[in-house]
Amino acid sequence: MKATRERILDAASDILRTRGVVHATTKEIAQATGVSEPTLYKYFGDKERLLLAVLRERVPGLSGAAVRPGEGDVEENLAELAHAAIGFYQRTFPMMGALLADPRRMAAHREAMERHGGGPDKAVAGFAAYLRAEQGLGRVAADADPAAAAALLLGACFQEAFLRYYAEGPDAAPAPRSRATDLARAVVRPLR
């Protein structure tokens, strides 16, 4: 039998994906897991920590793309990161979408993410850090702007995921790897 924490994460992942952060409750997640709400809070502290754990541990994405500065080809590494980002965004739209329509909840969510070290800005910062490291190794042009390149690539990944979700819904097929390769190529070539 799975450990309690793992069961909570499994239930939370399913519920957050189908009901979204705004509509899912910790009570509902606890009931689906077969534990009390205090038990859920014992493991995660609050709903935002639970969401972060789901995003980090149950939604394959950015953390699964292992690229290291100085290893492999920069364009291929960015394609790997882009492919992971598109998939991550595509899977998280159902979870996060309703937050956009509720400014009060969005503000509370933003504050909680800041307290817990999460938030969408972390991906851009991570991509930019990778590019700065490659720049330091001479594999990216010295006059390149890693932060701008990271924002452009992730913005394109977000748009790609949104269009797939919009056209096909939450069960849309994952974007083909070739799409991530094309996006990475468009960003990397001017950086060389």
Q: Residue 159 is encoded by which pair of tokens?
A: 């748009």
Q: Residue 59 is encoded by which pair of tokens?
A: 């939604």
Q: Please determine, for residue 183, whether its predicted confidence score (pLDDT) is greater than 80.
A: yes
Pick left, alpha or beta for residue 58 (phi over 0 → left; psi -120 to 50 → alpha; otherwise beta).
Answer: alpha
Whole-number CA gyration radius for the chain: 18
Structural domains for the chain: 1-58 (1.10.10.60), 61-191 (1.10.357)
pLDDT of residue 61: 63
* Mean pLDDT value of segment 90-105: 84
Q: Please determine, for residue 64, whether its predicted confidence score (pLDDT) is greater than 90.
A: no
pLDDT tens figures, 30-46: 999 999 999 999 999 98
pLDDT of residue 36: 93
Q: How far is CA 163 from CA 124, 157, 166, 173, in A?
A: 20, 10, 5, 12
**Mean pLDDT (the chain, rounded):** 89
In angstroms, the CA 107 to CA 84 distance is 27
pLDDT tens figures, 111-155: 888 887 888 888 899 899 999 999 999 999 999 999 999 999 999
pLDDT of residue 44: 93
Give residue 98's pLDDT band: very low, low, confident or very high (50, 70, 90).
confident
